[in-house]
Amino acid sequence: MSNKEQNRLGRGLGALLGEKSEVDSLRKPVGYVNKEIAGAKPRQDTSDVLRIPVNMVEPNPWQPRSTFDKTALEELAASIRSLGLIQPISVRKLSEGHYQIISGERRFNACQMAGMTMIPAYVRDATDQGMLEMAIVENIQRENLDPIELAMSYQRLIDECSLTQEQMALRMGKKRASITNTIRLLKLPAKVQHDLKVGLLSVGHAKVILGVDDPASQEMLCDMVVKDGLSVRDLEREVRKLLSSGRRSAGVRREQELPEDYTRVLSHIGKYFANDISLKRSSSGRGTMTVRFESDEEVSNFLKALEQAGL
């Protein structure tokens, strides 16, 4: 999306939102105040989030990224000061009072830049990967996790346990598309993740917002929901209204420009397939729909659903 296009969209959303400060005043930083500080107990649950002094944490010497964009790091630090750390880092315990980062070094650096002395983290032993996997899976099944915690748990199974999405789907008894869609929530800006985490935003809202590619536009759409209490359908209508008024451009994916019936078709079929479904329609109503699948199982599950519905 060009800067000109972003500016047009920003003005359109800004007119609907009013003063941004009204929305930001509703947000409070995410905290992990009810968790034990690392080292307080001899045994720790590796599925839990603990608060660790930053001076006990060291970088991972095998970190593949040797440099981090300074401007982006400063922006993340500013977000952390305002909203707290949405996604805890993961560390392994090397010895008593000594931890090493497994994933989240960029977040760790930003927390230091933000002046944090304690950092939320998942703690795991240097070995025993199988027990870690069981602990994470058990935590997913046992706890009433918010959508971001669930997405982070899935991502940990990928990063720390080397599981594929297909393997996770089998272990969790869920469709692979469900796993994929949940992990996609981690692509949202920190502000949107915050509002989803604390319940100001629903997963349905987040899915509509994920249809917008530009992070600034995603944040402004999120502000609309928080400020005006929009339902998912209200949000979809506002996006279409912006389209028709000419204040919207290439940031919204093609399927959101379709009539509502077409959007519902894409939504229903998309439950059974992990890949994107594309639908092209001319002004006369003629068009094509393309379904991309990754396995015979996806097609089989879709067929079963049709047969059960008597179609």
Which sequence positions are flagged as catalytic? 105
Task: Sort 112 into a burial class: Cβ within 10 Å, 0-12 / 13-18 / 19+.
Answer: middle
Distance separating alpha carbons of residues 63 and 152, to the nearest angstrom:
20
Residue 216 contacts residue 17 (beta carbons within 8 Å): no
The single residue listed with the structure tokens 């915690």 is 149
Distance separating alpha carbons of residues 171 and 264, to the nearest angstrom:
29
Distance separating alpha carbons of residues 202 and 223, to the nearest angstrom:
13
Residue 169 contacts residue 294 (beta carbons within 8 Å): no
Strand partners, 289: 279
The neighbour count for residue 71, using CB atoms within 10 Å, is 8
Q: Looking at this protein, which amino acid is placed at residue 58?
A: E
Rounded (5°) CA angle 155-161-164: 65
